[in-house]
Amino acid sequence: MERTPPPTPSPRIAAIQVVRRGPSPPNRARVELDDGTRLEIALEIVSHQALRVGDPLDAELRSVIEDADLRWRAREAALSLLSHRARARQELARRLRKKDFPGAVIRDCLDELEARGFLDDAEFARSFVRGRLRVRPRGRAGLHSELRRLGVDDAVAQTAVDGVFQEESTSDADLALDAARGWLKRQGGAIQAALAGPPFDPDRDKARRRLHGYLARRGFPAGAARAAMATLESEAAGNS
């Protein structure tokens, strides 16, 4: 009768060393096993799992630790990205996929960040629109398109644009005129003189085409752009 061989004993933790990199406080540890294996995991996980030198580390516990560390690294990567600037959930997911984190880990990470208030697409969209209106006026369509490119849901983007426009008591026409005046101020006197020129003057037509293209690229509708150009032409004629 054959004897069943005794189970192979689990390796034991031989050493736990803090990993120091750069000036930041250390947050990683190197766990060395008595079979020569080395693992690098977050200090947070060492503490949570109460790992100690001499403890056995079987396959099941090692799998739990490695999964927890993967999720820790995904969270740290996401928080690092958010520390540079606010981001929409979809954009953050794209960046984490580029770092090769699995889809399920990314979803859980972003759900956790949303629950903790670090990720809020609606607030991100409103803040983005307010910032644009202050420093780089754009029309509703342009703002909506920018938000969509940043990964904001269509309905969330539209609600943000409508809400901020209402809060600021502004419109496409108002913003188009502000943008047009800013554009003209940067062009110098020759363009202003051209806009004050007579109808069908080639220089005037060229200046009008440039201004119209500028406003169109910023998402202003044709009506708002025409009204802004008419006002600028009237102002230029009055100053000539």
Kindly report, residue by residue over 153-177, the tens digit of the pLDDT: 999 999 999 999 999 999 999 999 9
Do the domains 120-170 and 58-119 match in fold? yes
- pLDDT per residue as tens digits for the range 57-99: 999 999 999 999 999 999 999 999 999 999 999 999 999 999 9
Q: Is the pLDDT of residue 30 over 70?
A: yes
Domain ranges of the chain: 10-57, 58-119, 120-170, 171-240
Report residue 2's pLDDT band, with 50, 70 and 90 as the boundaries: low
Q: Is the pLDDT of residue 199 over 90?
A: no
Neighbours of 204 (CB within 10 A): 19
Determine how β-strand 13-19 pairs with β-strand 38-42. Answer: unpaired
Which pTM does this prediction carry? Answer: 0.78
pLDDT given for residue 102 in this prediction = 96
Domain 58-119 in CATH 1.10.10.10? The answer is yes
- pLDDT per residue as tens digits for the range 209-240: 999 999 999 989 999 999 998 898 888 776 65
Question: What percent of the chain shows pLDDT beyond 70?
Answer: 96
Q: Is the pLDDT of residue 1 over 60?
A: no
Q: What is the architecture of the domain spanning 120-170?
A: Orthogonal Bundle (1.10)
